Amino acid sequence: MTTRVRRRPLMLTLLLALAVAGCGSGSGGGSGAGGKLTVWLAVDAQESWPELVKSTNDRFAKAHPGVQVDVQYQQWTTKNQKLDAVLAGKNVPDVVEMGNSETTNYIVNGAFASLDPAGFDQSDAWLPALADACRKDGKTYCVPYYVGARVAVYRTDYFARAGVPGTPKTYPELVSALDRLKASYGAEDPNFSALYLPGRYWYAAMAFVKDAGGEIAVKDGDRWKASLSSPKSVAGLTEWKRLIDTYYVGDRAKDNSDQPGVVGQGRVAVFYGNTWEADAAADERSGGDPKLKEKFATFPFPGPSGKLLPPFLGGSTLAVPAKSTRKELAADWIKSFTDRQSQQALIAANTLPNNTTQLAEVAAGGINGPAAQAAATGGWMTPFAPGWTSVEKSNILPEMLERIANGKASVQDATREADRRIDEVINER
């Protein structure tokens, strides 16, 4: 999943801090019988694994008779705005789903209660990209839920007709395959992209930065400092730009938000994305073409470094607001929703589990097998900096990449400007 984040207004941050400071431990464990437990989940659960939600509620009801679980589904685009509003008052949900790039600012501002990881199944094997998002100063403030990893999604029929000998295992093999695809289809269709890689797609571009050993930002003492203009980061972005110039045909000012619909038009051989986008490209509801069903497969995207291109590990966590009056019940619900049995249900729904142990249970030959392989490398995450939400809200990365992709600025000049802008906000609370 791609997480979406919002910058918290300063006044609301102050109100939240005061409210949390005032609630203390007097909010109670909430382990008594009866009453209601309010759970906020993103719509993904409602759309993709409703049976898991139901089975968790059934298990919880047996353990806690008389407690009603009220699951309220939230849209990613409005979830944080609603959460900020309720956290400033008294009536808060007891469990909230957070994107793993959203947690830091809430944890820093005391919005979530600490949890004992020992009480949760397989906590010793949680994926670092999720677990690290939940930790601060030796304490844990949320529980990993699930993760997603981007891979190469390709048209099997195009590969066969272009004579590509199997899926690429190395970067030279990938480049050779793209050359064959371009030669086979590009001459007859000037709008054909051997590799669909829109300019503002920053999750893809930053994977090349990480593959080259670069970083978006690094921590220096207690503060973060942008690092996109470092030699290694520049090298990664230079190779990313070369791929765009060589294999991508299209609007370089676009992002990947309509990627399935574009791919569904039939003029793309390979794209870098989440595995669910393969189905979406063949689904009319997302602008895809049903005739393309069963014509997509995946492989781990090889990186220029000789290793797999490190994917952004975007996923979700579950937290208990500090002002909840039913913290123990909330923790018990999360325990059931994230235990081994529940993770198996997520795997069956073509979703990656929250832990390294069960990544091995993902069928290697299925469409999600390469994603599990990519996730096992550790991937990468956005900086766990208090002001990262401000960086994303300011669109610094997409704007930098658009300038590079369109040739409006060199990689060196664009990254220096982006570093300046990131440094202005990344340490904000």
Give 3-state DSSP helix, strand, coil % of the chain, rounded to 5: 45, 15, 35
Tell me: the pLDDT tens digits for 360-376? 999 999 999 999 999 99
Residue 187: the pLDDT is 87
**Listed residue (4, 105, 11, 13) closest to 426, CA to CA:** 105
Residue 53: the pLDDT is 98
Residue 23: the pLDDT is 37
Q: What is the mean pLDDT of the chain?
A: 92
Tell me: the pLDDT tens digits for 374-403? 999 999 999 999 999 999 999 999 999 999
Give mean pLDDT, residues 292-301: 96
Task: Kindly indicate the confidence band of residue 29, based on its pLDDT and cuts at 50, 70 and 90.
Answer: very low
**285 pLDDT higher than 60:** yes
**Phi/psi of residue 201, nearest 5 degrees:** -80, 85
Task: Kindly indicate the confidence band of residue 287, based on its pLDDT and cuts at 50, 70 and 90.
Answer: very high
Provide, rounded to the nearest whole percent, the portion of the chain with pLDDT above 70. 92
**5 pLDDT higher than 60:** no
Task: Kindly indicate the confidence band of residue 166, based on its pLDDT and cuts at 50, 70 and 90.
Answer: very high
Residue 329: the pLDDT is 98
**266 pLDDT higher than 70:** yes
**223 pLDDT higher than 70:** yes
Q: How far apart are CA 225 and CA 424, in angstroms?
A: 9
Tell me: the pLDDT tens digits for 234-250? 999 999 999 999 999 99
> All domains of the chain, ordered by start, with CATH?
10-149+313-375 (3.40.190.10), 150-198+248-294 (no CATH)
Structure tokens at 369: 């097998």
**17 pLDDT higher than 50:** no
Give mean pLDDT, residues 125-147: 96
Pairing mode, strands 143-148 and 95-99:
unpaired
**42 pLDDT higher than 50:** yes
Give mean pLDDT, residues 214-232: 97
**15 pLDDT higher than 90:** no
Q: How far apart are CA 157 and CA 349, in angstroms?
A: 26
**Phi/psi of residue 227, nearest 5 degrees:** -140, 20
Residue 364: the pLDDT is 93
Tell me: the pLDDT tens digits for 413-425? 999 999 999 999 9
Q: How many Å from the N-terminal Cα to the C-terminal Cα in the chain?
A: 25
Q: How far apart are CA 104 and CA 101, in angstroms?
A: 7
Provide, rounded to the nearest whole percent, the portion of the chain with pLDDT above 90. 91
Query: Any idea which residue has 């957070």 for tokens?
Result: 98
Residue 22: the pLDDT is 35
The full DSSP string for 165-199 is -SS--SHHHHHHHHHHHIIIIITT-TT-EEEE--T
Query: E strands of 56-158, at which residues?
Result: 68-74, 95-99, 135-136, 139-140, 143-148, 151-155
The full DSSP string for 118-144 is GGSTTGGGB-HHHHGGGEETTEE--EE
Residue 13: the pLDDT is 39
Buried b (16+ CB within 10 A) or exposed e, 371-398: bbbbbbbebbbbbbbbbbbbbbebebbb
**125 pLDDT higher than 50:** yes
Residue 33: the pLDDT is 54
Residue 34: the pLDDT is 72
